[in-house]
Structure 1
Amino acid sequence: MRYIFIDKIKNIDKASIEGSKFLCLNEDIFKDHFPNYPMLPAALMVEASIQLGRIFIWKESDFRYTLLPVSFEKFKFYNVITPGNILDISLSINNQEKIEYSINNIISLKTTGYYNEKKCFQGVIAFNIMSFEKLHNEKKCREYLDFLISNYQNDKNVI
């Protein structure tokens, strides 16, 4: 991944995941979007949700599967988020029935983004479950997930 939009995992279980993106003024996107009033584009909020969904299934499937978005439903954007803030994102399985993880099945994840307890966006992303090896480099993705999980476990030990 050239642009990584998940810096921290806050919580993960069998049906949901929560993560964060720390927004810094020196990120490339803020030079152009917009020079006098930098803000995170809505498309990158959605991309962060997609990446968090992939992290979720990588962990659940031990890197057997990944996700490819196929549709976006009911997306609404409420507040802009600017550099210096933390974008917190939660994803959960949209329907409560048991999900069968297998190639070409569709999984629907509800996503919500917040900063400072203000809702930025919400919506539902439908994903096609794909073979991990077709889209990703396992070594790099495993190192990234290990980093996120070790930081999550370290944070839990501090509490």
Structure 2
Amino acid sequence: MRLEYFQLVDRIETMDPQAGTVVCRATVPTESTVFEGHFPGHPLMPGVLLLECMAQTGGHMILARNNYDKMAFLAQADRAKFRSFIVPGDVLEVHSKLTHEGSGYAVCEARILKDGKTVADAEIRYRVVPFPSPELREKMLEFVRSVGHTGIA
């Protein structure tokens, strides 16, 4: 994870775009300026960043499902639950499953596991649109290759 750059997925472990499933790995950094304020002397991963991690995980799969021509933007999060504290150094397994797709939107059920136990989950809704600029598409393709996307033209 590179929290300051909102790069919250370290690696794609498995992905099946046709089935609408993806599992990613994310390791919470041991040091980050985020932890200076959240919280001094008791650093915790902010829930909003856990939510973003779940959103990015589903976004990787949606990007692949759309042949890397469309990007998923977070539109809504429902029923988000944070069941345990996440601290620096924790290794997370993030799962996302597509439950609906159509009319420029997608919905995924996502969850984060630590040591095999669910620590957070949510329903994530996305707006799926063509890339707004060629520069963004190129930067995104560069990043997704670095985390394990394969089969990109």
TM over 0.5: yes
Inter-partner Cα distance in structure 1 for 2:124 and 2:93: 17
Q: Deviations over 1:93-138 (max 9, x none)?
A: 124xxx45xxx52211000011111211111011111112359612
**1:116 pairs with 2:115:** yes
* Alignment-derived partner of residue 54 in structure 1: 59
In structure 1, the residue matched to 2:21 is 16
Q: How many residues align?
A: 145
Aligned alpha-carbon RMSD (Å): 2.1
Secondary structure at the aligned position of 2:132 is classed as: helix
Cα distance 1:93–1:44, how it changes in 2: closer, same or farther (>3 A)?
same
Q: Unaligned regions of 5+ residues in structure 2, if any?
A: none
Query: Aligned residues: percent identity?
Result: 17
Is residue 10 of structure 2 the alignment partner of residue 4 of structure 1? no
Matched, 1:73 2:78: yes
In the superposition, the TM-score normalised over structure 2's length comes to 0.85
SS at match of 1:149: coil
Q: Structure 1 unaligned segments of length 5 or more: list them.
A: 153-159
Query: Hey, what does 1:157 align to over in structure 2?
Result: none
TM-score (norm 1): 0.82
Q: Give the distance between the partners of 1:118 and 1:79, measured in 2 at CA.
A: 10
- Select the structure that is richer in helix: 1
- Shift >3 Å, 4+ stretches: 133-136
Q: State the alpha-carbon separation in 2 of the partners of residues 93 and 55 from structure 1.
A: 11
Contact 2:106 2:127 in 1 (8 A): yes
2:134, 2:104 → 1: CA distance? 16
